[in-house]
Amino acid sequence: MKRQGPIILAFTIGMLMLVQFFTPAAFFKQAYNIILDWKQVVLGFTFILGTWSLIRYHYTKISRRRENWQYSYVTLAGLAATVTAALVWKTATGPYPWLFNNVQVPMQSTMFSLLAFFVASASYRAFRARTFHATLLLIAGALVMLGRVPIGAYLSGSVFGVKISLVEISDWVLNVPNAAAKRGIMIGVGLGMTATAIKIVLGIEQTYLGKTD
């Protein structure tokens, strides 16, 4: 019951969602919509579990005076402030949107913008003609970089009388070899995902149930 039950449930729900793709029967369409709604409710409830884990993580850090424990107060305060703001002043006005627009969004966008710096340091280190493959990475990367930028439009000359602009080469690299590699990976991943999904539905895959041998 502890192990077979979830496997049987996974099989029935999985087959139901698979079959509904192939049949227009009204029953399957309704079942499909209901299952999607159930999924959302389950996810919604688990956010309570997640927040409980967050609170316990920072509470233990404070109580055990582990390194940087003082900052855990900031996290718990931020959490408390946002939730109380939503409950008391509701989500449309007041401190809730203020915290979102002036604390959360700016920091998220700044964290994202750090990538501009990391892309520079990563490309400086990785784009080095050490091996054959690294050289390919370098050539393709530099070529596309130049092609996507106005300076690239200047760099076009004629080879054997055929006028070639860097932008055209860059577009060709993007539209042919790059698309080929992407499609190869996509088909491979598609196969991998489908096989794993089949293993889940047929109960061959059970690690997610905590069985690891």
Partner 1 sequence: MAFYDRMMSIDRRIIFLSVGLAVAIPIIVPLGFPVQVSEETRSFYREMAALKPGDTILLSFDYEGDVMAELNPMAVAVLRHAFSRDIKVVAITTYAGGTGIAERLLTEAAARYGKTYGIDYVFLGYNPDWSGTMLRLGESFKATYPTDQYGKSTYEIPIMQNVETYRDIALVVSISGSALSEYWAIWAGGRYGAKVISGNTAIQAILIYPYYKAGQIPGFLGGLKGAAEYEKLIDEPGMGIRGMDAQSVAHALMLAFIIVGNVGYFFSRRAQARQSK
Partner 2 sequence: MEVTHDAGIWVAGILTLAIFSFLYKDNPFYKFAEHLLVGVSAGYYLVQYFFSAAYKKLWVPVVQQGNPILIVGGILGILMFTRLFRKTEWISRYPVAFYIAAWAGYVIPSYIQVRILQQAQATMFNPRGMGLGEIVSASVLMVGVATTLIYFYFSAEHKGPLKTISKVGITFLMIGFGATFGYNVMGRISLLIGRFQFLFTDWLGIVH
Partner 3 sequence: MVIAVVAGIAPPTAAVTAPEVDVSDTPYDWGESLTINWIPSGPPDSIDHYEIWRRAGWAMLPAPIGQAHSSSFARIIREAGWHLAGTASATDTVFIDSGLSSDSSYVYLVAAYGKRSIRISQPTRPARPRRQYLDTRHTNILLATILFISAVVFFVERARRGANLFIRRIAGLEAIEEAVGRATEMGRPILYVPGLEAMDEVATVAAIDILGQVAKKAGEYGTRLLVPNRDPIVMAVAQQVVRESFSAVGKPHMFRSQDVFYVTFSQFGFAAAVAGLMMRERPATNFFMGRFYAESLVLAETGNATGAIQIAGTDADAQLPFFISACDYTLIGEELYAGSVYLSRQPLLLGALKAQDYAKALIIGAVFGVVLLYLISPEIAELVRKAFG
Positions touching partner 3 (CB under 8 A) are: 18, 21-26, 29, 39, 42-43, 46-47, 49-51, 53-54, 56-57, 60-61, 67-68, 104, 107-109, 111-112, 114-115, 118-119, 121-123, 125-127, 137, 181-182, 185-189, 191-200, 202, 204-205, 207-213
Rounded to a whole number of angstroms, the minimum distance from the CB of residue 11 to partner 2 is 7
| Region 162-181 residues binding partner 2, contact defined as CB under 8 A | 170, 172-181
DSSP string for 47-65: HHHHHHHHHHHHHHHHHTT
Q: Assess contact for 209 and 182: CB atoms under 8 A.
A: no
* Among the residue ranges 48-56, 66-74, 122-130, 193-201, the one whose residues contact partner 1 (CB under 8 A): 122-130
Residue-wise burial string across 98-121, b where 16 or more C-beta atoms lie within 10 A, e elsewhere: ebeeeeeeeeeeeeeeeeeeeeee
The reply on whether position 132 binds partner 1 by CB under 8 A is no
Task: Provide the 10 A C-beta neighbour count for residue 50.
Answer: 9
Beta strands in the chain (DSSP E): 156-159, 162-165
Rounded to a whole number of angstroms, the minimum distance from the CB of residue 40 to partner 1 is 5
Residue 151 binding target from partner 3, partner 1, partner 2, none, CB below 5 to 8 Å by type: partner 1
Q: Assess contact for 146 and 170: CB atoms under 8 A.
A: yes
Residue 24 binding target from partner 2, partner 1, partner 3, none, CB below 5 to 8 Å by type: partner 3
Residue 60 binding target from partner 2, partner 3, partner 1, none, CB below 5 to 8 Å by type: partner 3
Rounded to a whole number of angstroms, the minimum distance from the CB of residue 184 to partner 3 is 8
- C-alpha torsion 41→47→48→49, nearest 10: 110
Q: Assess contact for 134 and 149: CB atoms under 8 A.
A: no
Residue 171 binding target from partner 3, partner 1, partner 2, none, CB below 5 to 8 Å by type: partner 1
From CA 49, how far away is CA 6, in angstroms rounded? 20
